[in-house]
Amino acid sequence: MRRNSSNESRRIITRNVLVYTLLVIVSIIWLVPFFYLVMQSLTSAYNPSVIIPALPTEDNINAGKVVFSFDNYITLFAGMMNKTSGERELVYDFKVWYLNTLIIAAISSIIETVLVLGTSYAFSRLRFKARKPLMKLILVLGMFPGFLSMIIIYFILKLIGMEGNIFSLIFIYVAGSAMQYYIAKGFFDTIPKSLDEAAMIDGANKNTIFFKVIMPLSKPIVVYTFLITFTAPWGDFMMASFLAAGDSTAWTVAVGLRTMITTLTDQQKYFPVFCAGGVVTSIPIMILFFWLQKYYVEGITGGAVKG
Amino acid sequence: MAQETMQNNLEYLSLNKLGRIGYKISHFFTGIPKKANKKIHDVPIKVRKKGLAFNNIFRTLIRAFARGDFKTRLSFILMGFGLVTRHQVIRGALYFLYEAFFILFMVLIGGNALSMLPTLGSLSSVWFTVYDKDGLDIQQPAYFDNSFTILLYSILAFVFIGILIFLWYNQIRDSINLQERSYIGKYASDKQTLKNVLDKSYDKTLLFIPIGGLTIFTIIPIVMMIVIAFTNYDYFHISPSKLFDWVGFYNLGQVFSSTGAGQGTAFLRVFIQVLLWTIIWAFFATFSNYFLGMIIAMIINIKGIKLKKLWRTVLISTIAVPQFISLMLISFMFGNSSFAPINAILMNLGWTESPIAWLSDSAFNALLPKVVIILVNTWVGVPYTMLICTGLLMNIPEDLYESARIDGASPAKMYMKITLPYMLFVTGPYLLSQFIGNINNFNVIYLLSSGGPAFIYDTAHETVPAALTTSGVGQTDLLITWIYKLTTNQYYDYGLASVLGILVFVLVAFFSLLFYNNSNSVNNEEEFQ
């Protein structure tokens, strides 16, 4: 008996050693790109074979080594230093892109959250003739590649004189909110119907039920929807690049950073600046994400995987 | 009938594993005629139902015309009249406003566009001479017909006509109903209408803006896209300086014909390769993420493993960074010159002599780029699956495993018999949406390899159509990125791009139907819950 249990514990120890090494390897694989991003954003110059820059001591600088420096972040906002004239020239205006994206994200996320939740509530709780056909229609519409309609959207916006500014992007994001009803509807479906009925007996109308009964119970899905709609404009490359193609004052962060490193010569010059831009873009979203992570997990597991 | 299924069951049970799979497959196909037969049987019933509903509409209209007073009869021409004069001023006025708007639209724009729809315009632009203030003559264009706007306004006109008919019928029906109700002294006034906005017709209040936005920015563009597939809207026919025209099924023929229009076999070959890679990519991208994510979630879930939260947070942190940043960074790291970090490090270590073209090596149908792309995609996607699976795995009742363990089941067996069926059942719809999302996964392909390396053509034996060379379609291109190239390239071809778009839809619809017809999570919703 004793021997058996010691065998067992030895088995568990070897298992745990295996599992921990696996987890460490997995963690390293998933963290390497970020580590690299942060390190490159802090180098004085790009050198392909240097991963971690050296400390900025006199010796290292004199030896021509790649050292730690915050120069890329300054370049990002103030422009690249011209070696001959000694002045900074602003080629890429990161501030404008950043502000654009922030405005788009802030406005569209608020409106979208309201519309998405409204649509989901209607599909989940209200019963009307067009309910099933509309849900089916939206399902079918989702099967068309959204990209092609973008060309036509571009021309429609051109007809009403709205192409190439950030409000056209807000317009389009908001117009697509009905397509995102699925997850929030799944969440509303799990809230017991008896609550509605009780409120109805007390004389509440449907509007009151929505705002006073369902909403207070749906904090996870409200935050989830907000988080998704707020982060989407930061990562959307296709739509933004298409609509703002010519006019760099309407670029979002995604479009702008992409142009920084499209050509090989640009890559050599701007790669560390691009990394700095990546870090600056990621930080607010990361903070928001970790702050609201609990709701994100609840939203994605509560709504996404219902049959 | 019952006996027959019993016999089938016995036959099924007597087979071994491979035989069972074969049985299922053959059964699926032999079952098709039966299913089709049932569908056909249902047709008359459905037709009758639809016919009755249609009949009702006409009967209401006839009733309104025959028995209606002058208010109701006037509503046939002047929308909303019957409502305005029967205490429902707000609704009546809205009906009337729509009618006024409709007439204005048709007179100013719609009528003209509809009349030119069959030809898509006859005169695009004329160059004429003007004299500027210095007396020099300059050529200036004057634009007349624009095929694109004709098409767009015609579609808008059709949508507005549809809405008009719907509203027209509704207000007549309401008018006659109000008239009949007023005989017994019952009125529903404006007050009731306003109250309904937040109660009885709350669905309309909530859905008005979302469905409106959907109509303008999704439905109309999709209809337009389908229509454009039948035109020759391309680089040579770009509005406003040139007109484009209807070409019927020419674009579709261009994709599928092996001989027609001087295309040779190159186009069909490239199309089939892109299509195959799209399906293979969607399959591997979906399932590699799914199983890896599930395995990592299970490992973290093992009892006695410490720092669970830390491991999860490490993975989740990749979700928090905008995807395009990590993709562009990785694409840079895998660059094919010695200047890119991974190659530089490998060469420094002496593991390779010359830089490896990670994302543009074209050997074996670009096998290396394809593998790299799928691997990078797991890096992007695994955290999501891990997140979803973690919660779900904890939902599986522990006593299932307990009793399996008592029966002496091995961990592998428990996974195959308990965990996997449960997870597949619960995540079925999620898997489908992932699969569809991957068919249309623009970001990963475009930001990683931009579709490269290019296809290799045997120019001595085949004529390479311009649509291939100018769009620069590459071996890792999906249909969706090919469409992007066809439309953003200097020599765009919207007609062909639309055809490809429709084919993507057909592909997605096919897999969705296959899933919905054969999935447990749709057919037996109650099980497991």
pLDDT above 70 coverage of chain B, percent: 92
* A160 interfacial to chain B (CB closer than 8 Å): no
Among B203, B227, B248, the domain-final residue is: B248
pLDDT for the residue B526:
41
Does the pLDDT of residue B431 top 70, yes or no? yes
Cα(A47)–Cα(A272) distance, rounded to whole angstroms? 10
Residue B336 · residue B355 · CB < 8 Å: yes
Among B24, B42, B67, the domain-final residue is: B67
Cα(B395)–Cα(B113) distance, rounded to whole angstroms? 59
pLDDT for the residue B257:
67
Same domain, B48 and B74: no
Residue A269 · residue A89 · CB < 8 Å: no
Peptide bond into B355 cis (omega under 30): no
Contacts 24+ apart (CB under 8 A), A48-55: A48/B338, A48/B339, A48/B340, A48/B341, A48/B343, A48/B344, A48/B345, A49/B341, A49/B344, A49/B345, A49/B348, A51/B341, A51/B345
Interface of B with A in 335-354 (CB under 8 A): 335, 337-341, 343-345, 348
Same domain, B56 and B86: no
Same domain, B231 and B292: no
List the single range of B219-223, B296-300, B331-335 with lowest mean pLDDT.
Answer: B331-335
| Domains identified in chain B, total number | 3
Interface of A with B in 181-210 (CB under 8 A): 205-208, 210
Same domain, B295 and B440: yes
- Considering Cα of B16, then B22, then B25, then B30, what sign does the dihedral take? negative
Angle between helices A71-78 and A264-291 (to 10 degrees): 100
Does the pLDDT of residue A272 top 80, yes or no? yes
Among A26, A33, A289, beta carbon nearest to B329 = A33
**C-beta atoms of A285 and B337 within 8 A:** no
Indicate whether B391 belongs to any domain.
yes
Neighboring chain A residues of B199 at a CB cutoff of 8 Å: 205-207
Indicate whether B330 belongs to any domain.
yes
B23-33 pLDDT, tens digit per residue, is 777 777 777 78
User: Residue B427's CB: how many other CB atoms inside 10 A?
Assistant: 22
For residue B234, the cross-strand partners are: B493
Same domain, B184 and B286: no
User: Residue B443's CB: how many other CB atoms inside 10 A?
Assistant: 19
Q: Look at the block and give the residue holding tokens 């719907």.
A: B166
Among B148, B314, B341, beta carbon nearest to A27 = B314
Same domain, B84 and B13: no
Q: How far is CA A42 from the centre of its chain?
A: 24
Q: Give A48's contacts (C-beta < 8 A, 6+ positions apart).
A: B338, B339, B340, B341, B343, B344, B345
Same domain, B209 and B279: no
pLDDT for the residue A113:
95
Q: Look at the block and give the residue holding tokens 């119907």.
A: A193
Report domain extents, chain A. Answer: 2-89, 94-303
Cα(B527)–Cα(B529) distance, rounded to whole angstroms? 5
Cα(B499)–Cα(B486) distance, rounded to whole angstroms? 11
Mean pLDDT of B440-454: 85
pLDDT for the residue B489:
75
Q: Of A11, A178, A203, which is closest to residue B217 (Cα–Cα)?
A: A178
pLDDT for the residue A304:
54
pLDDT above 90 coverage of chain B, percent: 17
What's the Rg (C-alpha) of chain A? 26
Interface test with B, best of A113, A148, A213, A271 (most B CBs within 10 A): A148
Same domain, B59 and B31: yes
Cα(B128)–Cα(B136) distance, rounded to whole angstroms? 13
Residue ranges making up the domain that contains B509? 261-523
Confidence class for position B525, pLDDT limits 50, 70, 90: very low
- Which amino acid, residue B177? N
pLDDT for the residue B260:
46
B179-214 pLDDT, tens digit per residue, is 888 888 777 788 888 888 888 888 989 999 999 999
Residue B365 · residue B454 · CB < 8 Å: no
User: Residue A233's CB: how many other CB atoms inside 10 A?
Assistant: 27
Does the pLDDT of residue A302 top 70, yes or no? no
Indicate whether B253 belongs to any domain.
no
Mean pLDDT score of chain A: 84
A47-96 pLDDT, tens digit per residue, is 777 778 877 777 777 777 778 888 888 888 887 777 777 777 777 888 88
Torsion of CA B96, B97, B102, B105, to 10 degrees: 150
> SS3 of B464, please?
coil
Q: What is the CATH number of domain A94-303?
A: 1.10.3720.10
**pTM for the whole structure:** 0.84
pLDDT for the residue A52:
80
Does the pLDDT of residue B126 top 50, yes or no? yes
pLDDT for the residue B25:
76
pLDDT for the residue B8:
63
pLDDT for the residue B286:
94
**C-beta atoms of A178 and B210 within 8 A:** yes
pLDDT for the residue A305:
52
Confidence class for position B529, pLDDT limits 50, 70, 90: very low
Indicate whether B196 belongs to any domain.
yes
Exposed e or buried b per residue across B141-161, where buried means at least 16 C-beta atoms within 10 angstroms of its C-beta: eeeebbbbbbbbbbbbbeebe
Confidence class for position A109, pLDDT limits 50, 70, 90: very high
Among B43, B67, B91, the domain-final residue is: B67
Token couple for B514: 């296959």
Same domain, B500 and B451: yes
Q: Of A33, A70, A27, A28, which is closest to residue A282 (Cα–Cα)?
A: A33
Does the pLDDT of residue A148 top 80, yes or no? no
pLDDT for the residue A300:
72
Same domain, B300 and B170: no
Q: Of B269, B271, B268, which is closest to residue B260 (Cα–Cα)?
A: B268
Cα(B407)–Cα(B405) distance, rounded to whole angstroms? 5
Does the pLDDT of residue B263 top 60, yes or no? no
For the ranges A156-160, B44-48, B99-103, the one whose mean pLDDT is highest: B99-103
Residue A256 · residue A273 · CB < 8 Å: no
pLDDT for the residue B155:
93
Residue with the larger pLDDT of the pair B501 and A90: B501
How far is the alpha carbon of A107 from chain B, nearest alpha carbon, in Å? 16
B344-382 pLDDT, tens digit per residue, is 888 888 887 778 888 888 778 888 899 999 999 999 889
Cα(B529)–Cα(B517) distance, rounded to whole angstroms? 21
Mean pLDDT of B403-417: 87
Indicate whether B236 belongs to any domain.
yes
Mean pLDDT of B310-337: 85
For the ranges A218-222, B30-34, B104-108, the one whose mean pLDDT is highest: B104-108
List the single range of B247-261, B358-372, B503-517 with lowest mean pLDDT.
Answer: B247-261
Q: Give A32's contacts (C-beta < 8 A, 6+ positions apart).
A: none
Q: Are strands A88-89 and B125-131 parallel, antiparallel or unpaired?
A: unpaired
Chain A's closest residue to B375, CA to CA, is A29
CATH (domain of B375): 1.10.3720.10
For residue A252, the cross-strand partners are: none
Token couple for A104: 């788009």
Mean pLDDT score of chain B: 83
> SS3 of A67, please?
strand
Indicate whether B139 belongs to any domain.
no
Does the pLDDT of residue B46 top 50, yes or no? yes
Cα(B157)–Cα(B224) distance, rounded to whole angstroms? 13
pLDDT for the residue A1:
47
Does the pLDDT of residue B528 top 50, yes or no? no
How far is the alpha carbon of B130 from chain A, nearest alpha carbon, in Å? 27
Segment holding B137, helix H or strand E:
strand B137-143
Q: What is the DSSP letter of B190?
A: H
Confidence class for position B527, pLDDT limits 50, 70, 90: very low
Angle between helices B363-395 and B308-320 (to 10 degrees): 130
User: What is the three-state SS of B484-528?
Assistant: HHHHHCCCCEHHHHHHHHHHHHHHHHHHHHHHHHHCHHHHCCCCC
Residues shown for chain A: 307
Interface of B with A in 184-243 (CB under 8 A): 195, 198-200, 202-203, 205-207, 209-211, 213-214, 216-222, 224-225, 228
